[in-house]
Amino acid sequence: MGSISESGEQHPETVTVIIPVYNGERFIRRALDSVFKQTYPLHQVIVIDDGSKDSTREVVASEYGASVMLIRQQNGGPAKARNAGLRVATGEFIAFLDADDWWEPEKLASQIQVLRTRPDAVGNYTGLRMMSDEGVHLEDLKPADPKTLWPTLRWCNPGVPPSSVMLRRSALDMLEGGFDERQLGSEDWNLWFRLIAKGPFCVCPEPLTDYRSSPGGLSGNADHMYNDFMKMLDDVLLADLTGLRRVLWRRRIIAYQAFKACLTARGAGDKKAEREYMKKSVIEWPSPFWAPERFRFFAVTLLRT
C-alpha cells in the first residue's frame, strides 16, 4: 500500500528507513530529525540499538515515541543491526542511515524519482556532503560512476556508504543472509558486490547525504579494515572465478587493498604499518600498470622516510 502526503499527492512506493546505532546519543537526534524532514512521506522508521551503554534508547523512546520502531539487541555490529531491521521492514524500498550521518530533505524523494525511471536497477546512491565531526561542511564528493561500478566493486568500494543508498526490497530478497555478520567494516561493500550481480545501480548525482568524516573509529584502523576485507576475499569477491583468473585477481585485489591500508595507516600516523602495507602491495602486484596511483603514493612515502 502506498502513502499520501499532506498535500494529498499519492505516493505508491513505500520506504522503510533503517538506522543502526551504538552509543549514539550525540548524533541520533540529528539523524532522526533529518529523516522526519524528508519531503517524501515515510512508511516506516526502524532504529536498532546495538547494545548502547549511553542514553541512546531513552532519547529515541522519549522524544520520537511511536513514530519510530525501536529494536534493542546485544552489541553485534552494524551488519547484525541492519539485518535485524530488515527482518521487520515492510517497505518496498529500504534506505539505510548510519546514526552519525544525516540527509538533505530531498534525498528520499530524489532517489524514488530516479528509481521510477530505472525499473531494472537494484538500488540508487547519492553524492556526498563531507562533514567534519562538528558538523562543518568540508566539501562535496561526486558519486562513483554507475557505469564503472562493475567491475570496480571487484577490488574496492568506490565511496558508496550505506547512508547514501536506497535498495529495492525485491533485490535484497534475491540474496541470502543480507549483510554479512562476520564483518565489521566492509559489510556494505560485500552486499553491493553481491547485489550488482543481480542488476545495476543508478545514481542521484546531487550531494544529498551528509557523511560525517571522523579520524576515529574502525574505518581509521588499517589492520582492522584489511583483515575485515580478507574475510570476504575468497568466498565473495572471487567466488565466480576459477583457475588462473582467480589467482591473478586475488593478487590484484590484495595489492589494491594493501595500498588502501597504507593510506589509512598514513592518515593515522602509523609509519611502520604504512611501510609494511606498501611492501605487501608491491610484492603482490609489482606492475605499475595496475592502479598506478599506488606508485605515486609510494614514491612520496619513500621520500618521507
Q: Specify whether the CB–CB gap between 88 and 80 falls below 8 A.
A: no
Q: Report the distance separating Cα 106 and Cα 153, nearest Å.
A: 27
Write down the number of H helices and E strands in the chain.
11, 11
Instruction: Average the pLDDT over 50-69 and give the result.
Output: 98
Angle of helix 78-88 relative to helix 187-196, nearest 10 degrees, comes to 50
> Does residue 298 register a pLDDT over 60?
yes
Q: Provide the pLDDT for residue 94.
A: 98
* Residue 296 confidence (pLDDT): 86
Q: pLDDT tens digits, residue range 234-289?
A: 999 999 999 999 999 999 999 999 999 999 999 899 989 999 999 999 999 999 99
Please determine, for residue 8, whether its predicted confidence score (pLDDT) is greater than 50.
no
Q: Is the pLDDT of residue 4 over 50?
A: no
Mean pLDDT of 108-114: 98
Average pLDDT, the chain: 93
pLDDT digit string, tens, across residues 127-170:
999 999 888 999 999 999 999 999 999 999 999 999 999 999 99
Rounded Cα distance between 280 and 145, Å, is 29
Structure confidence at residue 215 (pLDDT): 58
**The pLDDT value given to residue 10:** 52
Percent of residues, the chain, with pLDDT higher than 90: 86
User: Are β-strands 137-141 and 123-131 bridged in parallel, bridged antiparallel, or unpaired?
Assistant: antiparallel
Rounded distance between C-alpha atoms, residue 261 and residue 221, angstroms = 8
Confidence (pTM): 0.93
% of the chain with per-residue pLDDT over 70? 93
Residue 2 above 60 pLDDT? no
Mean pLDDT is lowest, of 31-35, 44-48, 49-53, 214-218, for 214-218
Contact 204, 111 (CB under 8 A): yes
CB–CB of 49/73 below 8 Å?
Answer: yes
pLDDT at 140: 97
Quickly tell me which residue has 570476504 as its cell.
232
